[in-house]
Structure 1
Amino acid sequence: QCSLTVALILMQVLNTSCEREGLPKLPVPPLQQTCERYLAALTPIVDPEELNHTRKLLEEFQKPGGVGERLQKGLEQRGKKMENWLSDWWLQTAYLDYRMPVVVHSSPGVVLPRMEFSDRQGQMRYAAKLIAGVLDFKSMIDNETLPVEYLGGKPLCMNQYYQVLSSCRIPGTKRDTVVNYTLDKRPPTHITVVHNFQFFVLDVYNSDGTPLTVDQIYIQLEKIWNSSLQTNKEPIGILTSNHRNSWGKAYDNLIKDKTNQESVRAIQKSIFTVCLDAPMPHASDDMYRTRAGVQMLHGGGSRWNSGNRWFDKTLQFIIGEDGTCGLIYEHAPAEGPPIVVTAYLYRKNKQHGSMLNVESLSFFFLFCSMVHDLDMKVSVFSHFGKDFPKSQKMSPDAFIQMALQLAYYRIHKRCCPTYESASLRMFRLGRTDTIRSMSIDSDKFVKAMDDPAKHNIEKVALLDKAVKAHRAYADMAIRGQAIDRHLLGLKLQAIEDLAALPEIFMDTSYAVALHFNLSTSQVPAKTNCVMCFGPVVSDGYGVCYNPMDTHINFAVSAFNSCQHTNAARLAQALEDALLDIKTLLEQTPKVKNWSLMFDS
């Protein structure tokens, strides 16, 4: 399982340059276009009276020489001066200014296929191969030979790959920062390894600069394991799971002690972290997937493995004694796809170099508690995969999103604002924008699906139209023409330029539009894994999926504190919706052009 090479994992490779100069800048969409599309997005989620009020505000906002035009010109000027007009703002507003704990609320986890370790040595051997593989990947970053990825024949920005190693989030009492140590005069040569809540520095390079071999790393991991058998150490890592303001204050106190400061700096500067976890409580195969998802997101609490984490660290690989494997990453520097690619860099190295000593890190413990409110369901939909939507000439992603809309509607009897992540990596320093999966067309489809007065042929026509509308919005989003980041840019430009916010940003409709009851993401991978993350609102769900050829991996999350949401119930409703849509398509005669049917 550990013989995959970097070349096989990375996508289509034609160019080995890591330079961004050939990529276009992120555009600023036309103001009128965004306002029109904003109204369309609001139509199914706000009442007519509120919509009419918002329409009038937008008309006022767009008047020639008015506020909107001035802000638009300011954004366009910013776009000319900067490499990416959005990237700095997005990093600050979406991540570093966000004060909720990164655990569950921000940091995603990835569940990798379960390994079969016959003994503890199997866990150590697997960890050694993983470390060697990531070091091999690091050499491509250091040498600037990381192959460029392509989407539809167009190169993608590779900057995020250069942010995930040797970086860490630093807590503050009001705002956090992210530090990347890759460009230091003496870049880090060590990783951190955590076992039994104890943190260790492991230097992974020989004196001549060559990386340790798998066998050498294995020996060091054995030493770490043997020297950390006592579990009476306090789970200091749980401090990083706290509310950011509280953690910022505790951090300031923690690093007043010189030993603590040196220990914390060693973790922050390390290339990445490896968490050697204790086994989870035994669970059935069905429950195991969910338990594994919980382990990746928060470690199961202080009694289990939450103390085996430093949640501010950008990249933490998790390897459990029982074969539970995956990772968690701090979201500020990168999105999901580069992380998933990095997760599969397992490769055997040459045997070379000398054995290094292991240094134990020590801390003074400050009391911290973590509340477990996460409701999680990780499941495999085994009836079909992306092969079926393709056979119907439908986008698999759009097909799944329509099933998700139907599932939510069946449970809650209403449609809701839905966030789906769209990559902006076609542009320099591009991150994401929002695909608004809830649309006028999806609203019509889900309301018709269970209506006995509607004929199947009409239902299929509405599904076809909704899928095509979703595909069109997704294409628009990856071309930098979606509405959410543009509206955010106009708002932030107003904060910089004006004494007061324009009324459209204080309007009830704007608050409703940003209350994403469904926060979703497709994170496809060539291997059988799934990413998981928490909801973004208290009464919402987080849904991530990896569509394989013949099955789909799903991770659904909610909060136990909300009586209206339930992860297992949505997961079951999603499975039912997928099967019902498949049955509908199979039982309905084919029509050459659905768009001509029931067009209204």
Structure 2
Amino acid sequence: MAEAHQAVAFQFTITPEGIDLQLSYQALNQIYLSGVRSWKKRVSRMRNSLIKGVYPASPSSWLFVVIAILATMYMRSDPSMGLITKIQQHLPLSLHVSLSSQGQTMVSALVFSTLLWLSLILALRFCLKLLLSYHQWMFEQHGRVSNVTKVWVTLLRLLSSRKPLLYSYQTSLPHLPVPPIKDTVSRYLQSVRPLLTDPEYKRMTELANHFELNLGNRLQRYLKLKALWATNYVSDWWEEYIYLRSRGPIMVNSNYYGMDFLYVTPTPVQAARAGNTITALLLYRRKVNREELKPTRVPGTVIPLCAAQCERMFNTTRTPGDQTDVLQHWQDSEFVAVYHKGRYFRLWVYRAGRLLSPREIEYQIQRILDDLSPPQPGEDKLGALTAGDRMPWSRMRKQYFSSGINKRSLDAIERAAFFITLDDEEQGMRGEDPAGNLDRYAKSLLHGKCYDRWFDKSFSIVIYKNGKSGLNAEHSWADAPTVAHLWEYTLATDAFQLGYTEDGHCKGDVDRTLPMPQRLVWDIPSEVQAQVCISLAVAQALADDVDCHVFPFREFGKGRIKKLRVSPDAFIQIGLQLAYYRDRGGFCLTYEASMTRLFREGRTETVRSCSNESSAFVKALENGEAEEQCRPLFRLASERHQNLYRLAMTGAGIDRHLFCLYVVSKYLGVESPFLKEVLSEPWRLSTSQTPVQQMELFDLKNNPEFISLGGGFGPVADDGYGVSYIIVGEDMINFHVSSKHSCSQTDSHRFGAQISKALQDIMTLLSADTKTATKGTAKPQAKKLL
């Protein structure tokens, strides 16, 4: 099919009478309105830069300072203690000539007022940074808040009283501290103690002590120097070496997925679901661009989290390179890229500077669905290049996609706001095998057919034939909580704000003069088609090996867990330790993701959930020891886990520090047996909680069926498990378990059953203690009432 041409602003032909120029006023009007929208965005960005640049003060406070200074001078007093006079003496000669003495004094007073205002802003920001550097509040017991923390909360509320923009706190957030090397080594040895025999632990202790006393101090000095210079001493190296320098497939290994509602599909009409979803995503992008989103905070507090990851959410793609990939971000994009049945389209979502209505986007999507034209040679499976190894994709991109129509079409995908796949399958918890279909739904979102997603995009939206939706996100630019925040807003806006008509279509009117979605044109030579087949084979083998199991745990939720005065996350993590011990007969190095966004440009830190305390509890329970002995061990394990989580959040974790020391050692060209062994240890149990950040968007009391399924990821180790979970409401926890079929020792369904049983066994153990305590206190209470 020939490329669909867009309307042009003017046409001309050469005739014997001269040049015949024909202007298209409609097209010129479109260009004008589009330019107005662009300028409005620039003005908005400038305004926001000023507002957040002076936060926690306001731009209007400058006028207050000026009036106060002038009023004081009017009362024959000099608040500047002679500085205004000195400024007046150093005014340019031209001002001395053109202004009277009184005018020169006024100008000098304005200059002094501005300098005073800027000084006050710097002082306020410094105070706010000091306040945000205080983390002791996190380690205090519930209900026992110290006086220092009470004063701190009061001061923080005062300085945060003005309504902030999304990025208002960025420059006030503290920098991530470099932990003392002695503390990191000590915590590391504690974390591996339950995993090693006595001789192995003795050898590791000798390695660690030798490193600490010799090479470690040298590496630490370089790392502290970087921490003084860089905004965050971890994040840039983490992004580059953990994500962008990986040469293997990012599909399954790095990308992760998010699911739709569990019980509800707002509409069965595929085009309508796409229309509302695209609209909701673009409304979210507008909020990000205008900084209208509220800064994310630690739940239940006024403490802000870093919002830097939002900057590259849209109009971003990961481009392959020979040695390392590069994240490319564009300031704006007025179109999305769409894939359907082997064809790629560019869909413009703005016209005359306005966002198309959901009904208009549905209309355009339906035109793509109704297009029966076949794919061009080599087009249908082109996306497999993004699913396979990175180096072949890099070579193909440089050689065959750097000029001509291939470059223009690739640019349309890479510069798009995001990627949409109109899948020709039906997915969700449905039919006679809802549990099996839920597993297939997860696999579809994780890898699809290995060529019908563009895995390099910051995120790809999948709309299925039956109206079910989901997303696949690239990992290097941001972590899951950032994408989860976007997805929560999208689902809630789609279902509760935009809504659908009775017949399942989007609301609103349609301008039927909209130009057709633009079909992308390719010229794909046989060499590229051969590489597509190779990349597809690599990706297909990886996809076929993934064993996904998704299950809702409905026995109880955080409501019953909190009644036991236990952290829900600690309860689940200890349950996972018990499940793994029963599944594999031992313990393993366990990864739980924790955020470090209390610091500027913070990403994640590792909570090593397998501790001496958790292993002691599991062994006691499995050895059949008395319940009275097991319960205190569980409490100790829970408190230990909470403390490890707090340490990770406050910059005192283990793994990011050791990782950066290892990077420094590589730059210096020195070998460390200790660091080499630490960083080669496999994470056989990789876990992560998907946080619910915007519960106010979902009315689960009146709409209990609108429950989010959360999302998941592939296994990190070939012989391990990947476990993601989301705590929904008070009575439900959804789990996503992944492993590999090629490992005979792992089975996702078996491990899922072990998780369910472990959680129920722990609840039975702790509930028995609660019942005993209740019986013990019943009689005295009755006597008191009598």
* Equivalent-residue separation in structure 2 for 1:48 and 1:23 (angstroms): 43
* Equivalent-residue separation in structure 2 for 1:150 and 1:117 (angstroms): 30
* Equivalent-residue separation in structure 1 for 2:400 and 2:710 (angstroms): 36
Q: 1:27 to 1:352 in 2, by over 3 A?
A: farther
In the TM superposition, what whole-angstrom CA distance separates every residue of 1:89-133 from its partner, at most 9, and x where no partner exists? 0001110011221111110001111554775xx211111111111
Q: Does 1:502 align with 2:672?
A: yes
Aligned to 2:194, the other structure's residue is in SS state coil
- Which residue of structure 1 lines up, in the alignment, with residue 722 of structure 2? 542
* Equivalent-residue separation in structure 2 for 1:355 and 1:511 (angstroms): 56
Q: Does 1:511 align with 2:680?
A: yes
Q: Does 1:26 align with 2:185?
A: no
- Which residue of structure 2 lines up, in the alignment, with residue 278 of structure 1? 424
Q: Contact between 1:13 and 1:148, CA under 8 Å: does it hold in 2?
A: no
Q: 1:559 to 1:308 in 2, by over 3 A?
A: same
Instruction: Give the aligned residue type for 1:159.
Output: A
Give 1:146-185 correspondences, 5 Å limit. 146-151=293-298, 152-182=301-331
Instruction: Give the aligned residue type for 1:210.
Output: R
Q: Contact between 1:198 and 1:308, CA under 8 Å: does it hold in 2?
A: no
Q: Does 1:83 align with 2:231?
A: yes
Aligned to 1:524, the other structure's residue is in SS state coil
Report the alpha carbon displacement of residue 174 of structure 1 after superposing the two structures with TM: 2.5
Instruction: Give the aligned residue type for 1:135.
Output: L
In the TM superposition, what whole-angstrom CA distance separates every residue of 1:472-517 from its partner, at most 9, and x where no partner exists? 1001101111000000111111222x2212231134x5533xx100
- Which residue of structure 2 lines up, in the alignment, with residue 376 of structure 1? 548
Report the alpha carbon displacement of residue 325 of structure 1 after superposing the two structures with TM: 1.4
Q: 1:199 to 1:78 in 2, by over 3 A?
A: same
- Which residue of structure 1 lines up, in the alignment, with residue 736 of structure 2? 555
Q: 1:48 to 1:250 in 2, by over 3 A?
A: farther
- Which residue of structure 1 lines up, in the alignment, with residue 640 of structure 2? 469
Instruction: Give the aligned residue type for 2:205.
Output: R
Task: Give the counterpart of 2:627 among 456, 461, 464.
Answer: 456
- Which residue of structure 1 lines up, in the alignment, with residue 479 of structure 2? 335
Q: Does 1:393 align with 2:565?
A: yes
- Which residue of structure 2 lines up, in the alignment, with residue 410 of structure 1? 582
Structure 1 residue ranges (4+ consecutive) displaced by more than 4 angstroms after TM superposition: 228-233, 349-354, 589-592
Q: Does 1:521 align with 2:692?
A: no
Q: Does 1:204 align with 2:377?
A: no
Aligned-pair Cα RMSD in Å: 2.2
Q: Contact between 1:171 and 1:248, CA under 8 Å: does it hold in 2?
A: yes
Question: Is the helix fraction higher in 1 or 2?
Answer: 2
- Which residue of structure 1 lines up, in the alignment, with residue 221 of structure 2? 73
Q: Contact between 1:195 and 1:277, CA under 8 Å: does it hold in 2?
A: yes
Instruction: Give the aligned residue type for 1:224.
Output: I
In the TM superposition, what whole-angstrom CA distance separates every residue of 1:75-99 from its partner, at most 9, and x where no partner exists? 1111111111111100011100112
Report the alpha carbon displacement of residue 15 of structure 1 after superposing the two structures with TM: 2.3
Q: 1:381 to 1:14 in 2, by over 3 A?
A: farther
Report the alpha carbon displacement of residue 350 of structure 1 after superposing the two structures with TM: 7.6
Aligned to 2:422, the other structure's residue is in SS state strand
Report the alpha carbon displacement of residue 322 of structure 1 after superposing the two structures with TM: 2.0
Q: Contact between 2:267 and 2:273, CA under 8 Å: does it hold in 1?
A: no
Give TM-score, length-normalised by structure 2. Answer: 0.69
* Equivalent-residue separation in structure 2 for 1:380 and 1:405 (angstroms): 19
- Which residue of structure 2 lines up, in the alignment, with residue 488 of structure 1? 659
In the TM superposition, what whole-angstrom CA distance separates every residue of 1:507-533 from its partner, at most 9, and x where no partner exists? 4x5533xx1000110002244222110
* Equivalent-residue separation in structure 2 for 1:61 and 1:480 (angstroms): 21
* Equivalent-residue separation in structure 1 for 2:372 and 2:236 (angstroms): 41
Greater mean deviation of Cα atoms: 242-251 or 545-554: 242-251
Task: Give the counterpart of 2:413 among 259, 263, 267.
Answer: 267
Instruction: Give the aligned residue type for 1:511.
Output: S
Q: Contact between 2:252 and 2:714, CA under 8 Å: does it hold in 1?
A: yes
In the TM superposition, what whole-angstrom CA distance separates every residue of 1:286-338 from its partner, at most 9, and x where no partner exists? 11211111111011x3xxxx432111111111110123311000001011111
- Which residue of structure 2 lines up, in the alignment, with residue 289 of structure 1? 438
Q: 1:148 to 1:118 in 2, by over 3 A?
A: closer
* Equivalent-residue separation in structure 1 for 2:199 and 2:679 (angstroms): 14
Report the alpha carbon displacement of residue 565 of structure 1 after superposing the two structures with TM: 0.6
Report the alpha carbon displacement of residue 70 of structure 1 after superposing the two structures with TM: 1.9
Greater mean deviation of Cα atoms: 468-477 or 578-587: 578-587
- Which residue of structure 2 lines up, in the alignment, with residue 361 of structure 1? 520
Q: Contact between 1:212 and 1:351, CA under 8 Å: does it hold in 2?
A: no
* Equivalent-residue separation in structure 2 for 1:518 and 1:109 (angstroms): 19
Q: Contact between 2:273 and 2:467, CA under 8 Å: does it hold in 1?
A: no
Report the alpha carbon displacement of residue 144 of structure 1 after superposing the two structures with TM: 2.7
Structure whose alpha-carbon radius of gyration is higher:
2
Task: Give the counterpart of 1:530 among 694, 707, 710.
Answer: 710
Q: 1:591 to 1:52 in 2, by over 3 A?
A: farther
**Identical aligned pairs, as a percentage?**
31
Q: Does 1:248 align with 2:419?
A: no
- Which residue of structure 2 lines up, in the alignment, with residue 424 of structure 1? 596
* Equivalent-residue separation in structure 2 for 1:591 and 1:91 (angstroms): 51
Q: Contact between 2:341 and 2:380, CA under 8 Å: does it hold in 1?
A: no
Give 1:314-353 correspondences, 5 Å limit. 314-343=458-487, 344-345=489-490, 346=493, 347-348=497-498
Q: Contact between 2:322 and 2:391, CA under 8 Å: does it hold in 1?
A: yes
Report the alpha carbon displacement of residue 457 of structure 1 after superposing the two structures with TM: 1.1
Task: Give the counterpart of 1:62 among 212, 227, 230.
Answer: 212
* Equivalent-residue separation in structure 1 for 2:163 and 2:647 (angstroms): 26
In the TM superposition, what whole-angstrom CA distance separates every residue of 1:347-381 from its partner, at most 9, and x where no partner exists? 53986987243111133243232212110100001
Q: Greater relative contact order: 1 or 2 (C-alpha under 8 angstroms, separation 6 or more)?
A: 1
Gap runs ≥5 in structure 1: 1-11, 593-600
Report the alpha carbon displacement of residue 201 of structure 1 after superposing the two structures with TM: 0.4
Greater mean deviation of Cα atoms: 243-252 or 211-220: 243-252
* Equivalent-residue separation in structure 2 for 1:49 and 1:259 (angstroms): 64
In the TM superposition, what whole-angstrom CA distance separates every residue of 1:180-220 from its partner, at most 9, and x where no partner exists? 112xxxx321111111121110111122x221111221111
Task: Give the counterpart of 2:357 among 213, 223, 245.
Answer: 213
Q: 1:116 to 1:491 in 2, by over 3 A?
A: closer
In the TM superposition, what whole-angstrom CA distance separates every residue of 1:258-290 from its partner, at most 9, and x where no partner exists? 222211111111001111111247662111211
Q: 1:219 to 1:510 in 2, by over 3 A?
A: closer
* Equivalent-residue separation in structure 2 for 1:93 and 1:170 (angstroms): 15
Q: Contact between 2:457 and 2:473, CA under 8 Å: does it hold in 1?
A: yes
- Which residue of structure 2 lines up, in the alignment, with residue 309 of structure 1? 453
* Equivalent-residue separation in structure 1 for 2:166 and 2:435 (angstroms): 44
Q: Does 1:16 align with 2:183?
A: no
Q: 1:352 to 1:84 in 2, by over 3 A?
A: farther
Q: Contact between 1:18 and 1:146, CA under 8 Å: does it hold in 2?
A: no
- Which residue of structure 1 lines up, in the alignment, with residue 21 of structure 2? none
Give TM-score, length-normalised by structure 1. Answer: 0.89
Report the alpha carbon displacement of residue 50 of structure 1 after superposing the two structures with TM: 2.1
Report the alpha carbon displacement of residue 461 of structure 1 after superposing the two structures with TM: 1.0
* Equivalent-residue separation in structure 1 for 2:402 and 2:334 (angstroms): 25
Q: Contact between 1:117 and 1:322, CA under 8 Å: does it hold in 2?
A: no
Instruction: Give the aligned residue type for 1:264.
Output: L
Report the alpha carbon displacement of residue 230 of structure 1 after superposing the two structures with TM: 4.3
Q: Contact between 2:166 and 2:288, CA under 8 Å: does it hold in 1?
A: no
Task: Give the counterpart of 1:141 among 281, 284, 288.
Answer: 288
Q: Contact between 2:564 and 2:767, CA under 8 Å: does it hold in 1?
A: no
* Equivalent-residue separation in structure 2 for 1:246 and 1:116 (angstroms): 39
